[in-house]
Every structure is written in C-alpha cells, then in structure tokens.
Structure 1
C-alpha cells in the first residue's frame, strides 16, 4: 500500500543532471506526486525511503543532499485552492 512522503534534495556538484533524478522520482518512485517547490516533492509511493535512495543512487555523488520522510495529514501552508485540492484528494486519500 502506498504512503505519503516528502522528498527534498540539492545536487551540489557542477554539471549535475537533474533530468535523471526528476525522471526517476516521477516515473520509478512516485505513484502520484506534486512538485510545487524547487527541488522538493510531495508524493505517494509503495517503496520505503531506503528503496527510493537505491533507485536514485546512480545519479548522486558525495556532494548531494537528499531527505525523504513519511508524512502524516497534519499540514498547513500557502498554496492555491487547486493545489490544496490536489494534495487532499491524491496525497492524503
């Protein structure tokens, strides 16, 4: 069963290929996701955080930073109503 997660990252080495990281997150890790922030995702996945990092590791080096955490439905923020609707209907279903 999928769970809600938040992932944030910084690829710090010059010339990093964000496309492979983004493609892996959106196609191989997330079952549904939203990307309303730079370098952060809110998504659902059937994978554990360790399994997610295993999928991302070919595109990372020692200078990169990744943080993945399972999240609960206790939230607040500054988003549009359509963004809140998507989150409430798809991330916290």
Structure 2
C-alpha cells in the first residue's frame, strides 16, 4: 500500500461534489483534516488514483496526486490525526 497526498482546486462554485468525496472515502484508509487535502492509502498507482478522481470532477477542476516519501511535518492536528499520519506516511 502506498500513501498519496491528494489536493484539489474545484472551479465550479456551488456544485455538488458529493460523488468526489464519496470516491475519496471509498478507499479503506484515508485522512482528511484540511479543506482540499487528503491522504489516501491504496494499492492504486498515482495515475489510477488521478483517473478515478477525474471521473468525479469537472474538466476545469485541478487536482494533484503525489506519492508520499514517508517523511512529513505538521502542526495543529488532533492526537488521533497526528498518530494516523505517523503510521501511514
């Protein structure tokens, strides 16, 4: 399993992106403590994850999928959120 950082910029104000959120949450292991940033742990490749996200986004939306290098630093998250990151990254 690989951890990917997923970030997006959705360009359709007021659009219902429920299917995108449902897709991201469909992965067994995910973290979402920032507005448009997720960490998804999956067996998918970065390209496969990107393509899955694209199926639930508009053509003018922007998103980024980056494989985690295992090292990170953060601040301001709950103990639970921080522990999840330590274990998954």
> With structure 2 as the length reference, what TM-score do the two structures score?
0.85
Aligned equivalent of 1:60: 57
Q: Deviations over 1:44-88 (max 9, x none)?
A: 111112111222223222320100000122111112322211222
Q: List runs of 5+ in structure 1 lacking aligned partners.
A: none
Residue in structure 1 matching 2:68, options 63, 68, 71: 71
Q: List runs of 5+ in structure 2 lacking aligned partners.
A: none
Aligned equivalent of 1:32: 29
RMSD: 1.5
Higher helix share: 1
State how many pairs are aligned.
88
Runs of 4+ in structure 1 over 3 Å off: none
Give secondary structure in 2 for the equivalent of 1:68. Answer: strand
Correspondence 1:49 to 2:66: no
Give secondary structure in 1 for the equivalent of 2:55. Answer: helix
